[in-house]
Structure 1
Amino acid sequence: MASGKKRKNKAGSQEFRNTALSDALQTQDMAAVAFALRHGPTVVPLLRHGSRDDPRDAGEVWTYRDPNTGDVALLLFSDATHKPETLPPAVALQSPEWLLAFLATHIDQITTVFFDIAGPHAMQATPADLIEALGA
């Protein structure tokens, strides 16, 4: 976690951010984004929280399905404060290993991945590009 002032999630319990990812998105440097993803957590929107009694239950990830094309997008955030209020309120802080496994499992369904879609420095990548970046 980043040092300095801590930001709290809506529940007020812990910091939900990856400063290196935020910095990499600001420069739009894919190599820096890949490094940040390999070495830090990612904020993921959830439809439902995981069970506190089952550490294997990470919750249900929220994805966006375009009503016109059926394309599915995964939205990821460098900081929970960048998540639009219109998305479900729950978030999870997921590890690089979790992200790699999730993308590999759903590569046939997810067509694109957006980072900080509402800004301040949005970026887009394909699941295949991210899997390659996470494996490097």
Structure 2
Amino acid sequence: MIVSMSSKKKQPSFRSQVLAEALEHQDMAAVAFALRNDRVIVPLLKAGQRDKPTDTGEVWTYRQPESGRLALLLFSDAANKPAALPPTVGLQDGVWLHTFLRTHGSEIETVFFDIAGPHPMQATPDELLRVLAL
């Protein structure tokens, strides 16, 4: 599901309580469980086309100025996404994340969960691929 957070219409609540609790405990096994069994909020550059329900738009990544490497920012709640990021978000699961990291992981240096809080956590793409192995 894709939604622009700037839309005037009332939007569904994009939150994963399971992921939020895992991040609160800083427990990678619990994060993996949450990703396999619930959802994660992903910032997008643009919304997917309405006639293509599997199109998730382009995932927004952050290029780190010091290294030039990419960071993937994921959130347990759309409310935790800093306003400076693109307003459109996607709601994805662990299968999607595993596929995305298998495809783009070599370009991504790190993955941040809830980077602006309340309980930020960081992992490498390889670490996430290991815990998400199906």
Identity of aligned residues (%): 58
How much is the aligned-residue C-alpha RMSD, in angstroms? 1.2
1:44 to 42, 45, 48: 42
| Runs of 4 or more above 6 Å deviation | none
Alpha-carbon distance in structure 2 between the residues aligned to 1:53 and 1:131: 31
Alignment of 1:62-73 (within 5 A): 62-73=60-71
Alpha-carbon distance in structure 2 between the residues aligned to 1:83 and 1:71: 21
Alpha-carbon distance in structure 1 between the residues aligned to 2:96 and 2:104: 12
Query: Where does structure 2 lack aligned partners over 5 or more consecutive residues?
Result: none
SS of the equivalent of 2:130 reads: helix
**TM-score where L is the length of structure 2:** 0.91
Alpha-carbon distance in structure 2 between the residues aligned to 1:94 and 1:68: 29
Q: CA deviation at 1:72?
A: 0.5
Alpha-carbon distance in structure 2 between the residues aligned to 1:56 and 1:24: 28
Higher relative contact order (CA 8 A, sep 6+): 2
Partner of 2:76: 78
2:131 to 104, 108, 133: 133
Corresponding letter in the other structure for 2:108: I
Partner of 2:33: 35
Corresponding letter in the other structure for 2:53: P
Corresponding letter in the other structure for 1:114: F
Query: Where does structure 1 lack aligned partners over 5 or more consecutive residues?
Result: 1-8
**TM-score where L is the length of structure 1:** 0.89
